[in-house]
Amino acid sequence: MKLCRFDDDRIGLVRGRNVHDVSDILAALPPLRYPLPFGDQLIAHLERLRHRMERLADMAPPQPVDGVRLLSPVANPSKIIGTPVNYRAHVEEARRDPQISVFHGDKPRSIEEQGLFLKASSSLVGPSEGVAIRFADRRTDHEAELGVVIGRKTGPVAEADALNVVAGYAIALDMSVRGKEDRSFRKSPDTYAVLGPWLVTADEIGDPGALDFTLHVNGELRQAANTREMIIGIARQIFWASSVYTLYPGDIIMSGTCQGVAPVKPGDVMTVSFERIGEMTVAVR
Please tell me the distance from the alpha carbon of residue 105 to that of residue 237, in angstroms, as a whole number.
26
Over the chain, what HEC string results? CEEEEECCCEEEEEECCEEEECHHHHHHCCCCCCCCCCCCHHHHCHHHHHHHHHHHHHHCCEEEHHHCCEECCCCCCCCEEECCCCEHHHHHHHHHCCCCCCCCCCCCCCHHHHCCEEECHHHEECHHHCECCCCCCCCEECCEEEEEEECCCECCCCHHHHHHHEEEEEEEEECEECCCCCHHHHCCCCCCEEEEEEEEEHHHHCCCCCCEEEEEECCEEEEEEEHHHECCCHHHHHHHHHHHCCECCCCEEECCCCCCCCECCCCCEEEEEECCCEEEEEEEC
Nearer to Mn ion, 114 or 164 (CB): 114
CA diameter of the chain:
59
- What separation in angstroms does the CA of 50 have from each of 22, 68, 235, 251? 10, 22, 24, 19
For residue 189, the minimal CB distance to Mn ion (Å) is 14
| Closest CA relative to residue 208, chosen from 264, 122, 274 | 274
Nearer to Mn ion, 129 or 143 (CB): 143
For residue 244, the minimal CB distance to Mn ion (Å) is 18
**Which amino acid makes up residue 229?**
E
Nearer to Mn ion, 67 or 108 (CB): 108
Residues in contact with Mn ion by the rule CB under 5 A: 143, 174, 257
For residue 254, the minimal CB distance to Mn ion (Å) is 6
Nearer to Mn ion, 40 or 174 (CB): 174
For residue 110, the minimal CB distance to Mn ion (Å) is 16
For residue 3, the minimal CB distance to Mn ion (Å) is 24
Nearer to Mn ion, 129 or 174 (CB): 174
For residue 83, the minimal CB distance to Mn ion (Å) is 7
Nearer to Mn ion, 83 or 271 (CB): 83
Nearer to Mn ion, 5 or 142 (CB): 142
Phi, psi of 116 (to 5 degrees): -75, 170
For residue 225, the minimal CB distance to Mn ion (Å) is 13
Nearer to Mn ion, 39 or 82 (CB): 82
For residue 59, the minimal CB distance to Mn ion (Å) is 40
